[in-house]
Amino acid sequence: MSQIKNNFIESVGNTPLIKLKAASEITGCNIYGKAEYLNPGGSVKDRAALALIKDAQEKKLISEGGIVVEGTAGNTGIGLCLLGNSLGYKTIIVMNDNQTQEKKDTLKNIGADLRLVPPKPYKDDGNYVKVAGRLAEELKSTNNNGVVWANQFDNTANAKGHYETTGPEIWEQTDGKVDGFVCASGTGGTIGGVSKFLKEKNKNIKIYLSDPTGSALYNHIMNGELKAEGGSITEGIGSSRITKNFAEAKIDGAFSISDQESLPVLYDLIQNEGLSLGTSCGVNIAGAIRLGKELGPGKTIVTILCDRSDKYNSKMFNKSFLKEKNLPIPSWL
C-alpha cells in the first residue's frame, strides 16, 4: 500500500488494530481496538461520510458547487464538511444544541454552516434528522449543482461502506481468526456493514451490540421491544428506533453499558496505555470485555475506537459536571 496519499479521500480507512492491554488481561483474550480516530477527520464517521458522498456522486445527485445537508451529533458532520471542502461542496449541518461545545466549535472552525436545534424525539417534526431532510428539500430549487441530504441513518450506502472497507480490514488484520466483534450503534452503519461482512466469512463469529443506557436497542435485541431505561452522557450512539442501516446488522446479543462502567475504562486507558478516547469508545471497550468474559479466554475480539477524548473535554474532564451527575472522576483531576 502506497504511503503517499493524493488527497483527503485516499487517507480515509486502513486504520491499524491496537491491542488493549488491560481489557485483554482481564479476559484472557486478545482484545483489539480498530483505531478509527486516526482517520483524517478524526473519527470512524469519515468512512460513513465518504460512503454517503460517493453514493451521491455515483447517482449524479451532486457536482462541484453543490450542497450537502446533514443532521448529526457532530462527527459525521465534521467528516462531511472536510470531504466537502476537498471536493468543492458547501456543507450545512443541523445539530442538537446539547452536544459538546468542542464539536460545535470544530464544525464552525472548518467552515460548516451550523444550524443548532433543541433536542426532540424522532417522532417529533422538530427532530434534527427531520429538520435536515426538510432543509435539503427546500434548498433543492436554489442550486443547480445539486443539494443532497446525506441521511446517514437510513441511507444504506453507510453500512455498505463498512461492508466494503471496515469489515474486510478487520478480517485481513486478524488473518481471519476473529471470534467476536462488538460495538455501539448510532446510525447502525458500522455494526450493520461489519457484521454482514464477517458473518459471510464465518457465521460463527459472535457479533454483539454494546448499547449505552438510555438507548432502546438493547431491549429490542434481548426482549424484542424498543424500550429505553436510564440515561448516558455519551453522544452520537444509542437510538429509539431501528434505522435502515441497523436493520442490516446480524447481531447475536447485546450488552447495556452505563457511564459508571464505561468512564473508568477510558480513564484507565489514558493513564496506563496512553490512549485518550471519546465516550462511545468506553461503551465499546466495556462491551468487548463483557464479550471476552462470555466467550472465554484465548479468543480474538475486535471493537471500534471511534474518536478521541478532546471532543468531550467539557464532559469527561469536568469535575463539577461529573460530580453533579454522580459519575466517576479521573484520579488526576
- Residue 85 is predicted with a pLDDT of 98
Q: Would you state the pLDDT for residue 3?
A: 87
Instruction: Examine the pLDDT at 324 and tell me if it is beyond 60.
Output: yes
Task: Please report which confidence band the pLDDT of residue 143 belongs to, taking 50, 70 and 90 as the band edges.
Answer: very high
What are the cell numbers at 8? 483527503
Kindly report the average pLDDT of the chain as a whole number. 97
Q: In this structure, what C-alpha cell is assigned to residue 135? A: 432543509
Taking only the tens place, the pLDDT of each residue in 211-262 is: 999 999 999 999 999 999 999 999 999 999 999 999 999 999 999 999 999 9
**200: phi then psi, degrees, rounded to nearest 5:** -70, -35
The reported pLDDT for the residue numbered 146 is 98
Q: Which residues are catalytic?
A: 45
pLDDT at 314 over 90: yes
Q: Are 167 and 197 in contact (CB under 8 A)?
A: yes
Query: 27: left (phi > 0), else alpha (psi -120 to 50), else beta?
Result: alpha
pTM of model > 0.85:
yes
With bands split at pLDDT 50, 70 and 90, how would you rate the model's confidence at 1? low
Sequence letter at residue 322: L
* Segment 178-195, tens digit of pLDDT: 999 999 999 999 999 999
pLDDT digits (tens, 9 = 90+) for 250-288: 999 999 999 999 999 999 999 999 999 999 999 999 999
260-269 residues labelled b (16+ CB within 10 A) or e (exposed): ebbbbbbbbb
Cell reading at 316: 469527561
> What does the pLDDT read at residue 64?
97
Task: Give the pLDDT mean for 148-170.
Answer: 98
So what's the pLDDT on residue 10?
A: 96
What's the rounded mean pLDDT across residues 32-54?
98
For residue 6, CA distances in Å to 39, 58, 65, 293 come to 15, 21, 21, 43
Instruction: Quickly count: other Cβ atoms within 10 Å of residue 294's Cβ.
Output: 15
